[in-house]
Amino acid sequence: MTTEADLQSLSLSSPSVEEPKKSKKAVKKEAAKAEKLLKRQQFSSASPSSVEVTAVDDADDLFGSNYGDVPILELQSKTVTGRKWTVVESMDAEMKDHSVLVRGRAQTIRAVGKNIAFVVLRERGFTIQCILTAKPDFVSKQMVKFAAGISRESIVDIEGVVSVPEKPITGASQQVEIQVRKIYCISRAIPNLPINIEDASRSEVDLEKADKMGEKLVRVGQDTRLNYRVLDVRTPANQGIFRIQCQVENIFRQFMLSEGFVGIHTPKLIAGSSEGGSAVFKLDYKGQSACLAQSPQLHKQISICGDFGRVFEVGPVFRAEDSFTHRHLCEFVGLDAEMEIKEHYSEVMDIVGRLFVTLFDSLNQNCKKELDAVNMQYPFEPLKYLRNTLRLSFEEGVQMLKETGVEVDPFGDLNTETERKLGQIVKEKYNTEFYILHRYPLSVRPFYTMPCADNPAYSNSFDVFIRGEEIISGAQRVHIPELLITRAESCGIDVKTISSYVDSFRYGAPPHGGFGVGLERVVMLFCALNNIRKTSLYPRDPLRLAP
């Protein structure tokens, strides 16, 4: 389990690490050693005959130079040929009879007798069927045999001609085939993979069907997937999920920029003492006690007091909580925003409403392929949302719950179950699975939340829900030092410990508010996935710190 740290401790490709110098002798010794290794590796295959990668030179085979394992030397940036590469995703019937050069993974390899082999080549989740047929003019039996012997998930280069089959292809995403002329193996995968990509890609529907029929299909468990994430993320659904996630962030950023927000970066290492609470990760910082930021709350507020007007940040946030739920992580990506308020916290809710309608619209329009890929494995209904985001007050929410027989404390918080219940009621009544609940009781919000003007038992705060689960908390903040102190005291906080925070508001502070969103939750709930570990590339929970 020390791999990454030890690796990290070596100089990585980064600007500020400078390596110790080595003696000339050591340099020469190393060079000789590397050269020796290279020669050995080359020797194991035949030497290349041209700029083009070649590997086998069987005297019995006229086409010996058209297939083989590529020697290491050829993969060390030896030459620039300028050859054109075709992307699997782009291949369709319009390319009929074109010669193509493709690099991808051998997803499945199947030989039919000694004369035919099929290789399904996969590139970034898209697949194409490649066919080797032994023919006197192009392809030898030895070449078919070589192809048939390639291990699954190996990286291969294939040159060939595009053909269009008469029947639709079911075993690959692209509806054309490649008649193979050359095939080279760039990197061989070990024969026994810990995860079979076919198993990892299987639809939940097929698994359930098989269960009902009493058939046994391999179901790859969540932990196994995460242990071998390097294989797991190769499935079309995972390729889709993380491309969607990238788009969510991108749309967020572009929307915020268009609204005059400035993107900032606040420190993740912050001063802290051992009294810092149980939910923070603590560490030693050059002799000072420090902790990892649980949110950019303080620094984004300082930035507002520092005249940036409107700021946003995308960055990691750290929670040392022992939560083992489907929706908590110890490290996740926060999308945070803070803005001056002219009059009312509804200005913040306006931003949230428009942001998410823009986001949902854009995902539905621009991520069709990715959403389809997710849907194929994990079927879900598209999210229902209104053009003008529904806003309900907390009091209204409590009343709606009461009307359906669910009693909740009108000055308490909603729990996960009542949130979900309210989500159902709202969906039935308003036909939306995305809405804002605002004016929460003051007592269930952090001390820096602004109380309501008309009733200080409530606060100028809101939560936002997708499919009955909370994804955003937001509020107007207290910008008045005296009120902040009163509120802190009411919440039992030692005011001395927050004096520098309070002081930030003594140099003139505009009224302001903001919100925080969890990136992984947005993706999880938009796609109705059942676990946040599915939308975190390398998730961290109380038990998982690798890979």
Residues of this chain, 134-163, that bind a second copy according to CB under 8 A: 151, 153-155
Cα distances (Å, whole numbers) of residue 154 to 72, 151, 348, 425, 512:
15, 6, 51, 51, 55
Give me Rg for the CA atoms of the chain.
29
Q: Looking at 159-167, 213-221, 425-433, 513-521, which segment touches a second copy (CB under 8 A)?
A: 513-521
Instruction: Choose among 439, 422, 507: nearest CA to 475.
Output: 439
For residue 270, the surrounding DSSP H or E stretch is strand 269-271
Tokens of 519: 């990136």
Terminal-residue alpha carbon distance, the chain: 9
Asked if 482 touches a second copy (CB under 8 A), the answer is: yes
- Tokens 């029947």, located at residue: 167
Choice between 139 and 348, CB closer to a second copy: 348
| 479 among known catalytic residues | no
CB of 201 to a second copy, least distance (A): 12
Between 13 and 212, whose beta carbon lies closer to a second copy?
13
Site for a second copy in 315-344 (CB under 8 A): 315-323, 327-334, 340-344
Question: Residue 314, interface with a second copy (CB under 8 A)?
Answer: yes
**468 vs 514 by CB, closer to a second copy:** 514
Kindly state the tokens that stand for 65. Answer: 């130079």
Task: Report the alpha-carbon distance of residue 71 to residue 256 in Å, rounded.
Answer: 49
Q: ∠501-502-505 over CA atoms, to 5°?
A: 105
> Do 332 and 317 form a contact (C-beta atoms < 8 A)?
yes
Binding residues among 221-240 for a second copy as defined by CB under 8 A: 229-234, 239
**Active-site residue (options: 253, 328, 344, 354):** 328
> Site for a second copy (CB under 8 A): which residue of 134, 144, 183, 475?
475
Q: Does 474 bind a second copy (CB under 8 A)?
A: yes
> Is the sign of the CA dihedral 244, 250, 253, 256 positive or negative?
negative
Q: Are 113 and 177 in contact (CB under 8 A)?
A: no
Please identify, using beta-carbon distances, which residue of 134 and 185 lies nearer to a second copy.
Answer: 185
Residue from 181, 182, 521, 533 touching a second copy (CB under 8 A): that is 521
- Site for a second copy, residues 16 to 55, rule: CB under 8 A: 16-19, 21-22, 24, 26-28, 30-31, 33-35, 37-38, 41
Helix or strand (DSSP H, E) at 399: helix 394-403
- Min. distance of Cβ 200 from a second copy in angstroms? 12
- Total residues at interface with a second copy (CB under 8 A): 209
Q: Which residues pair with 180 in a beta bridge?
A: 160
Is 473 one of the annotated active-site residues of the chain? yes
CB 67 within 8 A of CB 184: yes
Residue 319 known to be catalytic: yes
Residue ranges in 376-395 that form contacts with a second copy under rule CB under 8 A: none
Distance of CA 481 to the CA centre of its chain: 40
Picking from 336, 288, 268, 267, the residue whose alpha carbon sits closest to that of residue 475 is: 336
Does 229 participate in catalysis according to the annotation?
A: no
Q: What part of residues 76-105 is at the interface with a second copy (CB under 8 A)? A: 76-81, 83, 85, 103, 105
| Residue linked to tokens 């359906």 | 404
Q: With respect to a second copy, which residue has the nearer C-beta, 157 or 177?
A: 157
35 is annotated as an active-site residue: no
To the nearest whole angstrom, how small is the minimum distance from the Cβ of residue 375 to a second copy?
19
Report the residue from 373, 460, 523, 524 that binds a second copy according to the rule CB under 8 A.
460
- Identify whether 313 is a catalytic site residue: no
- Kindly report the backbone phi and psi dihedral angles of residue 177, in degrees, each rounded to the nearest multiple of 5, phi listed first: -125, 165
Instruction: Please tell me whether residue 368 binds a second copy under the rule CB under 8 A.
Output: no
Residue 268 near a second copy by CB under 8 A = yes
Q: Does 201 bind a second copy (CB under 8 A)?
A: no
Q: Which residues are catalytic?
A: 319, 321, 327-328, 470, 473, 521
